Amino acid sequence: MTAVDTPITPRSTYRDRTPVVGDVITHPVHGPVRVVATTTRQVRGTAKEYVDLEVVEGAMRISVPMERAEDVGLRDLLEEDQICDILEMLAGPETDRQGKDSWAHRMKELHMQLQSGSLTERVCVVRQILRESGEIPSSLALRDLLRSAISPLASEISIARGISPEAARELLIDAALPGRPHAA
């Protein structure tokens, strides 16, 4: 990790508080989610509190045990200074990588980085794919991986800044690929 890849730390997690119905928070893998309910369920004879979430950019629903909310990585939306840190990280130099890795090994490594739930790792995946393959990678697998990496991030930035998801996506791509040509 370079100095530009300093981890982006969430300001607020859900260790000591309960999400409120209607709140928009962030899931580390799925991006922005809306709290739709809090429920109590019986699990092996014990009452457990759950928060039910709906992914903002889709119809997926997720239930997370409240006692595991911090472990899962639920956090508040990005703040402006964190968005600036992300854009700076995307514009920064590429991290050192071994050029000898096979394509399959690189794909597995990128998938693992993305599934880690780390915001910093997500940004590094976006930067690496864009720098190596351009805005539209020729490989279907890389296109899908880029979409999986960039969509939740763009969605979160669009909500935080009050812009469209497409504008947020363009912002991210422009940061990683300065000087790229734009469609007229």
What CATH number is attached to the domain comprising 123?
1.20.58.1290
Task: Kindly state whether residue 13 falls inside one of the protein's structural domains.
Answer: no
Cα separation, 176 vs 135, whole angstroms: 9
Q: In this model, does residue 99 exceed pLDDT 80?
A: no
Q: Decide if pLDDT at 47 tops 60.
A: yes
Number of domains in the chain: 1
Which residues have C-beta within 8 Å of that of residue 179, sequence separation ≥ 6?
none
Which ranges constitute the DSSP H helices of the chain?
69-72, 80-91, 103-115, 119-133, 140-161, 165-176
pLDDT greater than 90 at residue 58: no
In the predicted structure, residue 15 carries a pLDDT above the cut 90? no
174: how many CB neighbours lie within 10 A of its CB? 16
Strand order in the sheet with 24-27: 24-27, 31-43, 46-55, 61-65
Specify if 67 maps to a domain: no
**pLDDT tens per residue, range 23-38:** 999 998 899 999 999 9
User: What tens digit of pLDDT does each residue of 105-153 get?
Assistant: 989 999 999 988 889 999 999 999 999 888 888 889 999 999 999 999 9
Asked if 128 and 16 touch (Cβ cutoff 8 Å), the reply is no
Contacts of 60 (CB under 8 A, 6+ apart): 30, 54
- Asked if residue 108 belongs to a domain, the reply is yes
Res. 5 pLDDT band, cuts 50 70 90: low
Residue 83 has pLDDT above 70, yes or no: yes
- Per the domain annotation, does 161 fall within a domain? yes
Task: Give 28's contacts (C-beta < 8 A, 6+ positions apart).
Answer: 72, 73, 74, 75, 117, 118, 119
Q: Contact, 150 vs 126, CB < 8 A? A: yes
The distance in angstroms from the start CA to the end CA of the chain is 37
In a domain? residue 172: yes
Residue 100 has pLDDT above 90, yes or no: no
Q: Which two tokens stand for residue 5?
A: 């890849």
- Of the candidates 148, 146, 8, 29, the residue with the CA atom closest to the CA atom of residue 84: 8
Task: Decide if 92 is inside a domain.
Answer: yes
Residue numbers of the domain that contains 140 = 77-176
Instruction: Flag whether 70 is in a domain.
Output: no
The reply to whether 62 falls in a domain is no
Do the Cβ atoms of 68 and 62 come closer than 8 Å? Answer: no
**Count of helices and strands (H, E) across the chain:** 6, 4
